[in-house]
Structure 1
Amino acid sequence: MIAVEEQDGIWTATIDRQAKANAVSEDMLVRLSEIAEAAARPGAARLLILTGAGKVFSAGADLAEMQTGLATSPSWERLSSAIASLPCLSIAALNGTVAGGAIGMTLACDFRVAAPGAEVFYPVMKRGFLPQPSDPARLTALVGPARARRVLLAGERLGAQTALDWGLYDRIAEPGALREAAMELADHALAATPEHVAAIKRMIP
């Protein structure tokens, strides 16, 4: 359910569980974390792209597993932390809607490129769960506190254009051009040494 492609230092991890709108299970979270942690090793990835198969990036937590504790699993934070601490560039290529806990892994990426239909919503208030510990701060850093409140407290659903206008998305591209858009954003980093990329990333809060 998690496919990984590695070519010339560019790693692409694809969530592929289309029958369940790419909802994420505990096992899938662990696998994604392992991929991000492996990508951080010296000489491994120079770029990590996270994407989904089909028309949805991810509907968030698997509903059946939410009843057994998935919503509060530490694996969500393990994944977000692994992505955020990557020395290489990380880009979320959002082929469609991203919802709930799946937002955390995208917030942890350096950039987010999205298809025109890639809506964002984080229904933690409605569901009765707290967001992942690091998500509010990362969301606020991107969109500001007032807009973060609208997402987390009011449950506002954002269309792709609004997410772009707010600074949550960096670019919008047609689904077939998402990888091209990601590669354009990564162009300078891929031309630099891994040490230079890591050094600049460390300078950005």
Structure 2
Amino acid sequence: MTAPLRFDIADGIATITYNRPEKLNAMTPGMADLMWDAVRRCNAADEVRVVILTGAGRAFCAGSDISELDRYATAWNFRNRPEYCDALRALLKPSIAAINGYAFGGGLEMALSCDIRIAAGTARFAAPEIKLGWIGGGGMTALLAHSVGPSNAAMMVLTGDPVDAAQAADWGLVSEVTAPEDLLARATEIATAIAARAPIAAETARENLKAAFNMPLERAIAYERDLQAICFATEDAAEGRAAFAEKRQPAFRRR
């Protein structure tokens, strides 16, 4: 059988590919376990400096496989299941969602959980759970409100209707829209640039971005200054200054 999730590492970039194209890459509990395994591998591997997430076929991910949901004996069991969006948010490395097609439900939540989102022109985005009688539970409302604003978030979660890639870019849901055939190359180009940066600084920067949404302004600025001091004390920061003085490319070693 074909693995429902592929994991590859090359040149400091880990690529996680959802690989159930015949089911629009809908997530099963088994795939959630594989997501947790992939995230643990990325976190533990110093050679992984950035992670790309994408889907096989015409979907990024259509969310949870609805046919699997009746396996939970109670709503409480469902509430406490291993969550694939939680796995992605446990990732310590910078992440890029290369959204090649449908990003619906949990697929949209996974895209929103990535640091950078780019989309093919064929991508579609939706929070369709309301059409089935429930709402998203992997961060949908909070993450959408931060990304597209409260009114646009309300439009998506209350209607469940999809928006296309151009609308997503206009709302700030994605940073760029590319031709489908150029999507992975562009994601790799961005990932390569990030992988060349000081990895401790890159990981610290993404933690600082999270803090910006969760702290009052003055606390967030003070926290940023603390994180800056931590980065400044690393060997990589000394190497960056030396490389600048010597007019050469720095060789960062994650120290």
- TM-score, structure 2 normalization: 0.74
Aligned to 1:84: 89
Question: For residues 25-174 of structure 1, what are the structure 2 equivalents within 5 Å?
Answer: 25-41=28-44, 43-69=46-72, 72=79, 74-76=81-83, 79-174=84-179
Which of 191, 195, 203 is the equivalent residue of 2:196? 191
Q: Show structure 1 runs of 4+ deviating over 6 A.
A: none
Deviation at residue 54 of structure 1 after TM alignment: 0.9
Q: Are residues 188 and 29 of structure 1, via their aligned partners in 2, closer, same or farther at CA, if it must alter by over 3 Å?
A: same
Residue-pair matches, total: 203
Residue-by-residue CA offset, 1:152-197 (whole Å, 9 max, x unaligned): 1121310110001101111111222112221333344222121010
Checking the alignment, whether the CA contact within 8 Å between 2:61 and 2:102 is kept in structure 1 is yes
Whether the 8 Å CA contact 1:61–1:71 is kept in 2: the answer is: no
Listed one character per residue, the Cα deviations across residues 107-136 of structure 1 (whole Å, up to 9, x for unaligned) are 110011111111111112111123115221
Higher CA-based Rg: 2
How far does residue 37 in structure 1 lie from its aligned partner after superposition?
2.3
1:2-17 equivalent positions in 2, closer than 5 A? 2-17=5-20
Percent sequence identity is 32
- RCO (CA 8 Å, sep 6+): is it higher in 1 or 2? 1
Give me the whole-angstrom Cα distance separating, in 1, the residues matched to 2:108 and 2:47: 25
Decide whether the 8 Å contact of 1:87 with 1:197 is kept in 2: no
Q: Distance in 1 between matches of 2:195 and 2:209?
A: 18
User: Structure 2: which 5+ runs fail to align?
Assistant: 211-255
Distance 2:171 2:150 in 1: 11
CA positional deviation for 1:71: 6.7
CA RMSD of aligned residues (A): 1.9
Residue 185 (structure 2) aligns with: 180
- What's the TM-score, normalizing by structure 1? 0.90
- Distance in 2 separating the partners of 1:81 and 1:131: 13
